[in-house]
Structure 1
């Protein structure tokens, strides 16, 4: 029994040692995040369409690092976009043309990065 446990522990240690956890660098801006999100979702779709072997599962695991980093950046930027939209709402209610124009330009610049 001790031999079996030692063998299993050694095998697990070898698997962990041979598997590199490559965390993707976070995207530097929204455009990069949207591009990564699109590209890596396509890769994930292709990987999910294959037989789920240990190698394929490792590939999927690696893809999730980049997807997570891209999605975090998108969510961060969308939170800011929501705040900017609220500023447009408040400025338009107050009939502040300069603020509406300024916030509107910022809003559309970010929004157009996500939708084409």
Structure 2
């Protein structure tokens, strides 16, 4: 930077360049301080995994929140846990959509007396439903 300032003859240009560099450094520092590291969280490939992770991670979160004080380390742990919970909820959303489709097929099949349709979609619906509520 010193070489650039020496080469530049215009004093106003030096001040502008210096201000721009300082602003860039300040913005980078502020962004780094405001934005914690991001995590992927535990993936939930199946509804069973999502339910298990949801239960376990909610328990961990409850333990942390029950403390009288939350340290910065605790907040970091909460942040990390939130990613796993978001993944579990995303899997729930996906699976609930599939359950709704199966249930609608059961409904329509029952109206039109399509026994095989009712059995197939009913079995798929119940399998997922029993994962959520045994």
Q: TM-score, normalised by structure 1?
A: 0.82
By relative contact order (CA 8 Å, sep 6+), the higher-ranking structure is 1
Deviates further, 34-43 or 20-29: 20-29
The structure whose Rg is larger is 2
Deviations 1:25-84 (A, max 9, x none): 421100000000000000111111121221111110110000000110011100110111
Alpha carbons of structure 1 residues 97 and 14: separation in structure 2 relative to 1, 3 Å: closer
- Deviation above 4 Å: which 4+ runs of structure 1? 9-17
**Residue from 43, 46, 53 that aligns with 2:71:** 53
**Residue from 91, 95, 102 that aligns with 1:73:** 91
CA-CA distance at 1:14 after TM superposition: 7.2
